[in-house]
Each structure stands twice: as C-alpha cells, then as structure tokens.
Amino acid sequence: MEERVKKIYERLQKREYRNLRRVEDVALSNDCKQISDLALRSARRLYELVAQEQAVLFEEDRIGMMRTITSVPPLLQEEEQKALYLGRFVFDSAQVGNISSDYEGILADGFLKKRALLSVQKEKYATDSKQFKELEAMNVCIDAILLLAEKYRAEAEKMGNTRLAEALKRVPMYAPNGYYEALVMMRMINFTLWLNANKHNTLGRFDEYMYPYFLKDVERGSITREEALALTQEFFIDLNFDADLYPGVQQGDNGQSLVLGGVNADGDPVWNELSELCLEASLSLNLIDPKINIRVSKETPFSVYEKGTLLTKQGLGFPQYSNDDVVIPALCKMGYDLCDARNYVVAACWEFIIPGVAYEIPNVDALNYPGIVLDVIKEKLVGVHSFDELLSEVKARIQSVCFSLAEGTKNIFVEPSPFQSIVMTDCIERAQDISEGAKYNNYGFHGAGLSTAADSLAAVKKLVFEEKAVTAQELICALDNDFNGYGNLRAQCLACPKMGNNDDFVDGIAVALTDCFADSLAGLKNERGGIFRAGTGSAMYYIWYSEKLGATPDGRKKGEPFSANYSPSLNVKFDGVLSVIHSFTKPHLERVCNGGPLTLEFHDTLFRNEEGTQKVARLVKLFVENGGHQLQLNAINRETLLDAQKHPEDHKNLIVRVWGWSGYFNELDLEYQNHIIKRIEFLS
C-alpha cells in the first residue's frame, strides 16, 4: 500500500479523527422548523447542516471528507410527528433509503445541468403547486451540495492541496474529467446522502458507471494502475470514516454495498480492469465497507471466482454472489423491462433492486414461516386426517397472512427527500419527490425460517402420519411443554429428515412452502401500483421471530434461533455442502426472487493453501451452474470467535457476516454474536 494511503488507513484505525467531531448536537433554525412544506423543510435542513459542517482535510487526503456533525436532527417535531404518523404505516423511521441512486446519470450531468433542468421544469407549475415546491426543494439541495464542495475546495486550497482544490472547481457542478474527479464527486454525493438522513445508501454498479472515467484516464495516459488503485483504496477507506454514525439495526448494517460484474443494459459483460482493481483494493484493506457483490452467470470466467474467493478467505463475509441467469429472468417475470432487469443491483443486503428508476421497499416485512406452521399445527393437527390436509391448512394460512402483510403496508408515510430525488433518473422530469414513487414501486417480503418450517412439517409427516410414533395430542403437549419430559420424542424429532440433506421428503415441503408464498402474493398490488415480491432473506427476523416462538416439531426448543437467510437449520448434523446446495436449489427460486442468499460457513482452515481456495471457487461456480440464485460464504473459526468474546481487545478488527452485511464482531450485540458461533461450519 502506498505510504499516503497507509496514513489514511492508520487514521481510520486509530479513530482519533473522531475527536474532531462537534461535541454538541446541531439544531435547526426556527425558520427551518416552521416551513410547512416538508420537502422544502428537508432541503432547508440539509442546507443548514452543510452550513454548519466544517471541512476537515488531512495532508495525505486526495479525496477526504469526514463528518463533524454527529447526528442529523429530525425533520419533524415530536407533536407534529405523532399527528402525521397517526393511522399511517411508517417504515424504517419514514426515511427514504435502501435504494440505489442513478450515479451514472448524475456523473454524466453534474449538478449544474440538473439545476438548469429544474429551472425549466419550475416554469411549468404554479408557484404554490406541490410540484413547484418539490422542484424548489431540489434546487435548495443543489445549493447545499455546492456549498459543501466550496467549503472543501477552500480548505484544500488553504492547505495547498491543489489537486483536490482543482477537482472541486469542476465537480460536483460539472461532469468529472477522469477517474479521480469522479471519485471526488462520488464521495461528495455519498457524504451528502448520509447527511440528508437517507438510510442504507448503496453504491450500485461501481465498475460500470465509473469505467468511462477510468478508461478516459487510461487512454490519455494520465493515470497509472498504481495511482488508480491508491485512489480506489482511499475512496473505500473514506466510506468507513463515519460508519459509526450511520443508522442500522446493528453497527455495520449501513447498506454500503457495491456491485461488480454482470451484464449491462445491452446484455454485454461488464467485468473490466476496474472490477479487478476494486477486488484488489478491498482485499488489501480488510474493511467492512464497501461490501462487495459480484454478479455472475454461466458465462463468468473461472478467474473471477478465484479472485472473489481470496476475499472470502480473508474472512470478510463477502463477496456475495448473485446469479444473473436466475435473477434477470425472474425480474422480467415480475414485470421489469429487460434493460432495467439487466441493470439490477443489490440493496443494502441482497434484495434485487434497479438503480435510478425505482423506489422500492424490498424489505417491507417478513413472512414468519415457522410461526405459521406452529400455529396451524396447534390449531388443526388434532382434527386433520392426512398430512396433505395439514399442508393445505398451512397454505391457506400463508395466503391469509400474506394478505394481511400486504394490507399492513397501506397508507404509508414517508418523509420527502429532495436531495435523493435529484440523483434519481427522472424525479425532476416528473416534478415529483422520490418518496412519492418512481417507475418501479414494488414491495418485497422476506421469508424467514423456511428450513425450520419445512423440517417441522417433515417431522409431523413422518412421526404423526407415517410412523404413527406419536399422536397429534402428544406432540402438541410436548411442544407446549418445550419438550421438557419428552426427551425421547425430541430425539426422534431431531432425527427426522432435515432440509439440506438432499432428501425430497423434506425438500419437497420447502418447495411447496415457497411456491405457496409466491402464489399468495401473485396478483396483489400495493397502493402505489407496484407488486409484492416474495423472497428468501431473513434480515434480523431470524432473531426477532424466533425469540418469541415456542418449541417446534423439528426439535427446536423455545426461543432458539432460526438460521439466517436461506440456510439449513442450526445445530443439525448435515451430510455436507453438496447436499445443501442440492436441497436449496430445488425451490423455484425464480418465483421467490426478492433476494436472500444461501449462506454457508466454512472453517477458515479450509483456505489454508491454494488448493482449498481453488476448490471453494469451484464450489461457487457449481452453485451458479446449478441454478442457485444468491450465495454468501463465510470463512470463520469458532475458536477465534469464542476468544473474541472473552478478549475483545485482541480482536478489534475481526469481521463477520451477520445477515446481509459484514460488521465488526465486537460491535454486535451478544445474541448476534452467539448466532454466528452456532452456525454450522462445513469443516474440511
């Protein structure tokens, strides 16, 4: 690593820069608070925050930027919020987030072109119209980002950092002239999105939208590979400086995902030198942000898997792989235009979304498969005469729960987000804030605990209906007593077929459940005219739902967690990873393609030499070639994690994958730490 970059890296590690943050919270002016139009108020807030931000640069910075304001004041006053929220559906604190900006578009235009467009648009509307106010709000946000840029330009100039000062004379006002300026502009946008209270700000298809700028430099010979690498490293490090200020369920859950590879809108492969440079930068840094995702397909060269596996080996919990061969057709079936489907990225974790033209909420709620199965068993098992009858009851319940979940999303309230609107493809043209919708307005539901549900039904099928080893009443009694006094029955339950062993007896049930989930959402529309997408992710629901759920017929005791995402149950001995892949590619994944990866944990000794690493890469390829939709691999070592619980001070940089994101182990709550320790390792 270049000396200059090393200095930046060390600054991040030492954390002393955090002392430069303001101690007191910033407050909004009364003028701002009293603006009745929320779009205008939001814009004003951003402007006031920028006005109070202090540009901080260090000698070694070429891109730089760090927050000095620690928290963004809420847009709504307490009483006002209460009134506005009343009777409304409020998701994720009513913030726009978890979407992907049109970076390609904003880089090509620059903010001044956007401003010109705004002026033209404003002419079309009466000054007291909603459209006019929203456009005006966007205009104020442009003032804000330009002010921010000017502050940094002045600071750079003052420090004699002419390169940055020169760059900031051009960006973000105009399109960048080369890779370096594009990075500065991206950093400025990223910084502003966070300061604007947007959540889960994804980075999209970095190797696609940045490539023209990179190529321009390469072609005119104005950048060497080393310089490009150093700048990419710096940009990646910069994404981490304020990460502790970014909101999420746990620290690290901030959505700074970056996508590499895949095909472009025309269907041509994207993978290029810059993709490789990003992998190299990430590998050299060992940081949780940005979280690397690779889009792959049957056409992907093996070398891409090999390079990706080097990151996995590092224990970062990424790259995560998404399979274009499954995802693109699935998105087309959901109604996305082919060119948009080809352009997909992942949201904060793994949900498939379209950059620029979508305001989707792919994580709006989650189906609790095991909860439904348990309820139905307790209510209906005694009365039904066959397993098929029971399964029909479960399906009927899934359908009614899906309907209620969909109903629950109605009458949503979202705060306007004029700055985010500027960096979307056509909010200005439509004179509409992004919070009110876009070309695509779909919602997605996770499907938590699939394996626990399938295993539970398999146990009932085998023990109650086929072997008649236990009566319905006895089983329910055992469940009600959390298996206390039913040790033998629990052992029998645990010995029943489990999803992940390539056994159609139970895998078939999982297929039926996922199909039913998809069927139940088919045809339902949300209030914005979008559809509901069924998924295989869990987000934090593998903890939230399981904590409250009683014992289940698969032998799981009360409160024990489900597996995260789309994975076999915990604490079950499996034949191995090949059988797991067989099992988990049986469901019709193109029908439940909201996102949610098969998650596999490997002991880190598997990667001890090139042979091991090569074979893991082969396994990923195998998964892709056999119709898997998404895969997340983690290299972990149980002993290391246990030691980190005892001696956190020795493991400050220990990174683990949690559900759809990587975080520092020490910064996780105990229950999330313990879950990771419990997950199965496929030892070798």
Partner 1 sequence: MSKEGIIFSIEEFSVYDGPGIRTTVFFKGCPLRCNWCHNPEGLEARVQVVKSPNGCIACGACKEVCKYKEGCVACGACIPVCPRSLIRFSGTKYTAEALSKKLLKNADYLSQAGGGVTFSGGECFMQWEFLCEVLTLLKGKVHTAIQTCGYASNEVFCKGLSLVDYVMFDLKILDEEKARKFTGVGTEQILKNFRSLSTSGVPFVVRVPLIPDVTDTEENLKAIAETVAQSNARGVELLPYNKMAGSKYTMVGKVYNPLFDEQKAPNVNLAPFVQRGIKVKIM
Q: In the complex, which residues of this chain contact partner 1 (CB under 8 A)? A: 487-488, 491, 502, 575-579, 581-582, 606, 609, 611-612, 615-616, 618-619, 621-622, 625-626, 682-684
Report the C-alpha gap between 342 and 322 in whole angstroms. Answer: 12
E strands of 324-434, at which residues?
345-346, 352-353, 361-368, 412-413
DSSP structural state of residue 536:
-
Nearer to partner 1, 544 or 682 (CB): 682
Q: d(Cα 8, Cα 533) in Å, to the nearest integer? A: 42
**Closer to partner 1 by Cβ: residue 203 or 296:** 296
Q: Provide, rounded to whole angstroms, the least separation between the CB of residue 676 and partner 1.
A: 19
Distance CA 501, CA 627 (A): 17
Q: How far is the CB of 226 from partner 1 (least distance, A)?
A: 33
Residues 102/425, Cβ–Cβ less than 8 Å: yes
Nearer to partner 1, 392 or 585 (CB): 585
Of 611 and 650, nearer to partner 1 (C-beta) is: 611
Please say which residue, 534 or 624, places its beta carbon nearer to partner 1: 624
Q: How far is the CB of 144 from partner 1 (least distance, A)?
A: 53
Tell me how far, at minimum, the Cβ of 554 lies from partner 1, in Å: 15
Q: How far is the CB of 622 from partner 1 (least distance, A)?
A: 5
For residues 143 and 625, which CB has a smaller minimum distance to partner 1 in the complex? 625
Give whichever of 138 and 636 is closer to partner 1, judged by the CB atom: 636
Q: CB of residue 257 vs partner 1: minimum separation in angstroms?
A: 27
Q: Residue 240 or residue 502: which is nearer to partner 1 going by CB? A: 502
Q: Which of 586, 493, 579, 542 is nearest to 679 (CA)?
A: 542
CB nearer to partner 1: give 274 or 680: 680
Q: Under the phi-then-psi rule, with left for phi > 0, alpha for psi from -120 to 50, and beta for the rest, what region is 252?
A: left
Residue 177: Cβ within 10 Å count: 15
Mapped onto helix, strand or coil, the DSSP state of residue 188 is: helix
Identify which of residues 81 and 614 has a Cβ nearer to partner 1 in the complex.
Answer: 614
Cβ-contact 310, 275 below 8 angstroms: no
Is the Cβ of residue 149 or residue 631 nearer to partner 1 in the bound state?
A: 631
How far apart CA 436 and CA 59 sit, in angstroms, is: 43
Give the separation between CA 131 and CA 429, rounded to whole angstroms.
Answer: 11
Q: 236, 307 in Cβ contact below 8 A?
A: no
Using an 8 Å Cβ cutoff, are 68 and 20 in contact? Answer: yes
Do the beta carbons of residue 455 and residue 496 sit within 8 Å? yes
- The sign of the torsion formed by the CA atoms of 130, 136, 137, 139 equals positive
Cross-strand bridge partners of residue 296: 323
Task: Please answer whether residues 584 and 569 qualify as being in contact, where contact means their C-beta atoms are separated by less than 8 angstroms.
Answer: no
Min CB(502)–partner 1 separation in Å: 6
Residue 260 near residue 271, CB atoms below 8 Å: yes
For residue 452, the minimal CB distance to partner 1 (Å) is 18
**How many residues can be counted in the chain?**
684
Q: How far is the CB of 495 from partner 1 (least distance, A)?
A: 10
**Shortest Å, Cβ 562 to partner 1:** 20
As measured in angstroms, the least distance from the Cβ of 579 to partner 1 is 6
How is residue 101 written in tokens? 């900006």
- 222-235 as b/e: b if 16+ CB within 10 A: ebeeeebbbbbbbb
Residue 12: DSSP 8-state: H
Q: Which amino acid is at 265?
A: A
